[in-house]
Structure formats: C-alpha cells, structure tokens
Amino acid sequence: MQQIKIFKGIESDVSGLEKKINAWLRESGARVVSITGNIAPQTEMENAGGGLGRSRFPPSDVVVIVLYETGV
C-alpha cells in the first residue's frame, strides 16, 4: 500500500531537514517510490537591510513529500 510522509523546514536549515528525513528513512525501513520537494517563494521584507548574515527576504519554507510503500 502506498502512503505519503510530509516534511517541512526552512531554507536556512536544509541540512537539519535532510538529517531528519534520512533518520526517518533508516528507522522506518520504508521502500521509497519517489521524493519531491519545493521551496516557497518569499517577498521582500520592508525595513530590512542586507548585510553579513542578513537578507531582505525571510527564510523560505521547504516542503519534502516522500511517497513510499508499506507491506500492509
């Protein structure tokens, strides 16, 4: 039976999201059919200056959808 698992994170912590997904894959033993992801576009923030480590844009939301099969 096919099922989905949705993971959500932010652009500034993609490595954390990757670790979370990989841990789930190891622990669940899921047989992955496909993995799809998307980054939500963000608009410029008012009164936000650039600079080192700062951006005029808030961090974008990242969503990853894993389609997997179970033995059920």
pLDDT tens figures, 8-63: 999 889 999 999 999 999 999 999 999 999 998 776 666 555 555 566 667 889 99
CB 8 within 8 A of CB 61: yes
Is 4's pLDDT higher than 70? yes
d(CA 32, CA 47): 44
Is 69's pLDDT higher than 90? yes
Q: How confident is the model at residue 3 (pLDDT cuts 50, 70, 90)?
A: very high
pTM for the model: 0.77
d(CA 19, CA 4): 18
Starting at the edge strand that comes first in sequence, how are the strands of the sheet with 31-39 ordered?
Answer: 2-10, 61-69, 31-39
Rounded (10°) CA dihedral 12, 18, 24, 26: -160
Is 1's pLDDT higher than 60? yes
